[in-house]
């Protein structure tokens, strides 16, 4: 596929820009950039949906006086407790207004979800919006639990799972899920499971991929055939893309959980891991760790990657790419929708994460949020039923298709949802989602019933001490010139120290 | 002739807003009381005593009422949390309600923790650069705007301006300005012929000094105002005398200005040290600009404590570090007070 076609915008024939694993070429082929990922119609219908959602929100407020769940439709869901009981649901999506298409679509989705549940009678769900920065980096959720007033229901990322699990505040959702468990991809569920019991129900997966600027490639005289497949090629291409005021590639440099998240794939591709298979001892001191650390170090040392990020950090593609600061960057596939919204004129493409050598699989890391229930909530059982109903029930399939394709551009984590989207031809209409599912995760469109996500591995769960040790190793190698092997060895010791008297759930993914 | 006690009464009641007619109506008036009861010497005495006591009590009550809002605020939001942190520091509190008494374990661990010791090293470097840098620059600016500088009102306002901006905004703006290659600072340096300007926030050798610089930039106007106040307190005839004695500018500065500015200097230095160790900028700026990086080079003690508490759920351990921090501050301030007799120097 040529770059000219990318220029033509969103009129590319459906299904032409991804070629799922056709003889190994497909997953390497990259994803052509385009401008209009969402149709006007979808945008309009979503806007209308927001209006409906807000109106529904009003209805919900007045619905609190409903009878308890004796009416039709009750009995399968919110029939534990009465409609005077309210489940407080903390998340960072709704209700909020403004902020563009994605924000509204996501807020809508949550409002509709809660309306639908509350209309059934029984225990009501009320949404409490927490800004995402506060949710990820802040103290509000933790402080609420510390004060003994944690929310009944909340969302968490895999990175936070162990903190709350080991804090003994997560309710066992296994029974509420029932047979629904089998519908989830193993890689999506495993990081929320301890001893076979489920403590969080994932709503999505967000695999990491590489983005590139079409204009930067053209200016450097590069074409699609130059899309890098290996680490060395990436550094080489990055060198060609580096100019006086543009960096060839951007890897996160801010010391936080997100930096770890974006680095793990390279560790895994090289055959390494943070902890061993028991999940209770370090495996960090390995040549693979040194190689993955060395890869990022080389990018900095060669001057092809920046030491500082623009805007909100490396994940903020809109601040880092359209401005010409970086020609290639790493981000979850949903970043494409951020670019289309934040910089509609910017032409970008995507390609799977480069590997140490061509024999390695382009393993990637899948983030994504999950619903969790506070086990100390008086409505824990009802909240668990809500989670199962919202994310795992038969009737939730359409809702989850909407979340994935219309609202978040994250991938479904259930086989039936993936199948439904495929049956409805949605992957043919949405190149970004098709690329994410088939090229990045390596799913087989002909066999969506498989439990496996060939290249997708769940974002691992670690304790804060282990996260910090890994962050320090990355920082030392990447930015402080420390020998990668030495950085790996230092962190190895710290991880083992931290795990010496650890008695929580196993780590890793 | 009113007696002294009457004068005192008058004075004290004037405070409560009735200068001419004290509020004796309720029978607590020492004289009114005795008149009304018409008792003998003993009862008169006791009446006077209770009257005086209750007056004192009233005055005390009024006093307490005046300080109560502050006292309650400080008590609830500072003293009680401090006390709780102190208690927490002997436990293994995890932020989820579980805590066991662990004695001095957290304190022992603190000094075995290389990351904590490293953050202490960074803190010392930061304070060591921040406090003198801030003082000298603020003094120079105060001297400038204290003189006959044309447009000095403008400069006073301009120098103070950064202090009025939110620290988060300050951090964000400086981050943009200091960005690698595309930042305005980088561009200027290149225009000035610097071939490869450093990554100010991305290079561990530069990041701490950059944060010190931005911290000083932020605070300098505030300290300039404090020092300016001190400068304007110096009687003008002293300058005149110095001039008549033939003292030049520097001689006047070192022999007249600085000695007379010592109380203000003391105040500014104590305040700056506390700000450097535990001030908002030590946390907010760093959180926005570097998150403690690169490679922990800007991870100040206060930031490390936050990380341990809110990211690591080590509330007991974080409390121990906070207590240690508070003790260190108290000792430092105590030494400063002791050395300077409470900052009064030889003038009193």
Q: Does A495 touch chain B (CB under 8 A)?
A: no
| The pair of three-digit structure tokens given for residue A18, joined into one six-digit string | 């991804």
**Residues on chain A touching B180 (C-beta within 8 angstroms):** 247, 306-308
Cis geometry, peptide bond prior to residue B259 (ω within 30 degrees of 0) = no
In this predicted structure, what is the pLDDT of residue B342? 66
Number of other CB atoms surrounding residue B149 within 10 Å: 13
Minimal C-alpha gap between A161 and chain B (Å)? 12
% of chain B residues with pLDDT over 70: 82
**Residues on chain A touching B172 (C-beta within 8 angstroms):** none
**Residues on chain B touching A476 (C-beta within 8 angstroms):** 295
| The pair of three-digit structure tokens given for residue B142, joined into one six-digit string | 């105060």
Q: Does A145 touch chain B (CB under 8 A)?
A: yes
Contacts of B182 (CB under 8 A, 6+ apart): A245, A310, A323, A324, A325
**Residues on chain A touching B314 (C-beta within 8 angstroms):** 464
Q: What is the DSSP string of A272-302?
A: --SB-TTSSSB--SSHHHHHHHHHHHHHHHT
**Does A90 score more than 50 pLDDT?**
yes
In this predicted structure, what is the pLDDT of residue B346? 57
Q: Does A163 touch chain B (CB under 8 A)?
A: yes
**Residues on chain B touching A475 (C-beta within 8 angstroms):** 293-296
Tens of pLDDT, residue by residue over B44-81, are 555 555 555 688 899 999 999 999 999 999 999 999 99
User: If you average pLDDT over residues A326-355, what whole number do you get?
Assistant: 94
- Using the structure block, give the residue that is written with the tokens 């949405």: A430
Residue A195, phi-psi category: left (phi > 0), alpha (psi -120 to 50), beta (remainder): left
**Does B238 score more than 70 pLDDT?**
yes
Minimal C-alpha gap between A143 and chain B (Å)? 8
**Does A317 score more than 90 pLDDT?**
yes
Interface of B with A (CB under 8 A): 94-98, 115, 175-176, 178-182, 199, 201-204, 290-297, 307, 310-315
**Does B187 score more than 80 pLDDT?**
yes
User: If you average pLDDT over residues A478-495, what whole number do you get?
Assistant: 97
**Does B7 score more than 60 pLDDT?**
no
Minimal C-alpha gap between A456 and chain B (Å)? 27
Q: What is the DSSP string of A364-403?
A: EEEE--EEEEBTTSTTHHHHHHHHHHHHTSGGGHHHHHHI
Could you give the domains of chain A? 40-205+368-449 (3.40.190.10), 207-366 (3.40.190.10)
A456 neighbors A187 (Cβ within 8 angstroms): yes
Instruction: Grade residue A67 by pLDDT with cuts at 50, 70 and 90.
Output: very low
| B111 three-class SS | helix
- As a whole number of angstroms, the distance between CA A442 and CA A419 comes to 15
Q: What are the start-end ranges of the H helices in A85-213?
A: 101-118, 132-137, 140-146, 158-166, 174-177, 186-189
A253:B293 CB<8 A: yes
Domain-by-domain residue ranges, chain B?
Answer: 4-66, 105-347
B313:A142 CB<8 A: yes
Q: Does A96 touch chain B (CB under 8 A)?
A: no
Instruction: Grade residue B339 by pLDDT with cuts at 50, 70 and 90.
Output: confident
Select from B179, B203, B292 the Cβ nearest to the Cβ of A310: B179
Tens of pLDDT, residue by residue over A22-37, are 333 333 345 554 433 3
- Using the structure block, give the residue that is written with the tokens 């300039």: B224
Interface of A with B in 310-329 (CB under 8 A): 310, 323-325
Tens of pLDDT, residue by residue over A236-288, are 999 999 998 899 999 999 999 999 999 999 999 999 999 999 999 999 999 99
Name the CATH architecture for the domain at B105-347. Orthogonal Bundle (1.10)
| The pair of three-digit structure tokens given for residue A156, joined into one six-digit string | 């968490």
| The pair of three-digit structure tokens given for residue B71, joined into one six-digit string | 């006292």
| The pair of three-digit structure tokens given for residue A117, joined into one six-digit string | 């549940």
- As a whole number of angstroms, the distance between CA A480 and CA B294 comes to 8
B151 exposed, middle or buried (CB, 10 Å; 0-12, 13-18, 19+)?
exposed
Which residue is closest to A164 within chain B, CA to CA?
A: B96
B295:A475 CB<8 A: yes
Select from B202, B290, B311 the Cβ nearest to the Cβ of A464: B311
Tell which wins on pLDDT, B188 or B12: B188
**Does A78 score more than 60 pLDDT?**
no
Q: What are the start-end ranges of the H helices in A169-212?
A: 174-177, 186-189
The edge-to-edge listing of strands for the beta sheet with A201-202 is A124-129, A86-91, A153-156, A370-373, A201-202
- As a whole number of angstroms, the distance between CA B173 and CA A152 comes to 39
Number of other CB atoms surrounding residue B225 within 10 Å: 17
Beta strands A364-367 and A206-213 are antiparallel
Which residue is closest to B306 within chain A, CA to CA?
A: A139
Cα pseudo-dihedral A304, A307, A308, A310, rounded to 10 = 20
Tens of pLDDT, residue by residue over B259-287, are 999 889 989 999 999 888 887 777 888 98
% of chain A residues with pLDDT over 70: 84
B179:A308 CB<8 A: yes
Instruction: Grade residue B345 by pLDDT with cuts at 50, 70 and 90.
Output: low
- Using the structure block, give the residue that is written with the tokens 């060669």: A302
In this predicted structure, what is the pLDDT of residue B48? 54
């Amino acid at each position: 596929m040529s770059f000219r076609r990318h220029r033509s915008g969103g009129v590319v024939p459906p299904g032409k820009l991804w070629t799922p694993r056709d003889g190994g070429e497909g997953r390497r082929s990259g994803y052509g950039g385009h401008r209009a990922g969402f149709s006007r119609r979808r945008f309009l219908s979503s806007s209308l949906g927001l209006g409906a959602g807000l109106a529904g929100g009003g209805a919900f407020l007045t619905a609190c006086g409903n009878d308890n769940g004796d009416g039709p439709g009750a009995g399968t869901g919110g029939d534990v407790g009465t409609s005077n009981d309210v489940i407080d649901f903390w998340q960072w999506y709704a209700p909020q207004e403004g902020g563009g298409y994605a924000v509204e679509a996501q807020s809508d989705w949550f409002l509709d979800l809660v309306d639908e549940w509350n209309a059934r009678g029984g225990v009501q769900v009320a949404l409490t919006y927490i800004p995402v920065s506060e949710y990820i980096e802040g103290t509000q959720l933790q402080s609420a639990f510390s004060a003994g007033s944690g929310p009944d229901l909340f969302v968490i990322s895999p990175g936070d799972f162990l903190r709350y699990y080991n804090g003994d505040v997560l309710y066992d959702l296994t029974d509420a899920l029932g047979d629904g468990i089998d519908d989830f991809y193993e890689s999506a569920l495993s990081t929320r499971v301890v001893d076979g019991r489920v403590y969080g129900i994932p709503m999505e997966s967000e695999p990491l991929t590489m983005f590139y600027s079409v204009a930067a490639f053209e200016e450097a005289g590069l074409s699609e055939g130059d899309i890098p497949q290996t680490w060395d090629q990436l550094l080489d291409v990055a060198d060609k893309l580096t100019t006086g005021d543009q960096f060839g590639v951007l890897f996160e440099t801010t010391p936080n959980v997100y930096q770890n998240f974006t680095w793990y794939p390279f560790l895994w591709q090289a055959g390494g891991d943070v902890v061993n298979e028991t999940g209770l001892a370090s495996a960090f001191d390995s040549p693979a760790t040194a190689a993955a650390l060395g890869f990022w170090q080389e990018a900095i040392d060669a001057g092809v990657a920046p030491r500082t990020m623009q805007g909100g950090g490396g994940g903020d593609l809109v601040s880092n790419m359209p401005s010409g600061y970086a020609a290639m960057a790493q981000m979850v596939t949903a970043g494409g929708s951020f670019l289309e919204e934040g910089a509609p004129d910017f032409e970008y493409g995507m390609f799977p994460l480069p590997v140490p050598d061509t024999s390695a699989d382009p393993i990637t890391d899948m983030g994504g949020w999950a619903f969790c229930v506070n086990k100390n909530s008086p409505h824990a059982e009802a909240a668990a039923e809500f989670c199962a109903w919202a994310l795992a029930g038969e009737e939730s399939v359409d809702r989850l298709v909407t979340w994935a394709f219309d609202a978040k551009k994250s991938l479904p984590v259930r086989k039936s949802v993936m199948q439904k989207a495929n049956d409805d031809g949605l992957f043919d209409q949405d190149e970004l989602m098709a690329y994410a599912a088939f090229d990045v995760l390596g799913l087989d469109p002909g066999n969506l019933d498989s439990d496996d996500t060939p290249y997708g591995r769940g974002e691992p769960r670690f304790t804060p001490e282990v996260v910090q040790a890994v962050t320090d190793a990355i920082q030392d190698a990447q930015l402080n010139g420390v020998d990668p092997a030495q950085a790996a060895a230092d962190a190895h010791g710290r991880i083992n120290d931290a795990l010496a008297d650890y008695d929580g759930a196993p780590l890793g993914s | 002739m009113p007696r002294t006690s009457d004068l005192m009464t008058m004075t004290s009641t004037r405070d409560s807003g009735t200068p001419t007619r004290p509020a004796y109506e309720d029978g607590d008036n020492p004289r009114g009381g005795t008149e009304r009861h018409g008792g003998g010497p003993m009862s008169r005495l006791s009446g006077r005593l209770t009257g005086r006591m209750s007056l004192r009590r009233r005055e005390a009550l009024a006093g307490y009422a005046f300080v109560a809002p502050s006292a309650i605020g400080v008590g609830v939001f500072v003293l009680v949390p401090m006390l709780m942190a102190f208690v927490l520091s002997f436990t293994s509190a995890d932020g989820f309600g579980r805590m066991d008494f662990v004695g001095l374990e957290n304190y022992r661990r603190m000094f075995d923790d290389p990351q904590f010791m490293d953050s202490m090293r960074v803190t010392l470097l930061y304070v060591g650069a921040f406090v003198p840098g801030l003082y000298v620059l603020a003094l120079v600016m105060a001297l400038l705007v204290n003189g006959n500088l044309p447009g000095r009102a403008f400069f006073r306002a301009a120098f103070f301006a950064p202090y009025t901006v939110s620290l988060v905004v300050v951090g964000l703006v400086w981050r943009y300005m200091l960005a690698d290659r595309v930042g305005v600072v980088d561009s200027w340096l290149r225009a000035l012929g610097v071939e490869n300007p450093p990554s100010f926030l991305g290079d561990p050798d530069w990041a701490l000094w950059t944060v010190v610089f931005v911290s000083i930039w932020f605070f300098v106007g505030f300290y300039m105002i404090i020092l300016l106040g001190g400068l304007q307190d110096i009687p003008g005839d002293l300058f005149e005398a110095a001039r008549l004695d033939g003292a030049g500018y520097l001689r006047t500065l070192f022999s007249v200005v600085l000695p007379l500015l010592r109380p203000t200097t003391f105040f500014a230095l104590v305040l700056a040290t506390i700000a450097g160790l535990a001030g908002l900028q030590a946390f907010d700026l760093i959180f926005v600009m570097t998150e403690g990086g690169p490679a922990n080079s800007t991870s100040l003690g206060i930031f490390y404590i936050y990380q341990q508490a809110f990211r690591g759920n080590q509330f007991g351990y974080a409390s121990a570090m906070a207590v240690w921090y508070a003790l260190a501050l108290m000792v430092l301030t105590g030494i400063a007070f002791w050395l300077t007799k409470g900052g009064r120097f030889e003038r009193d």
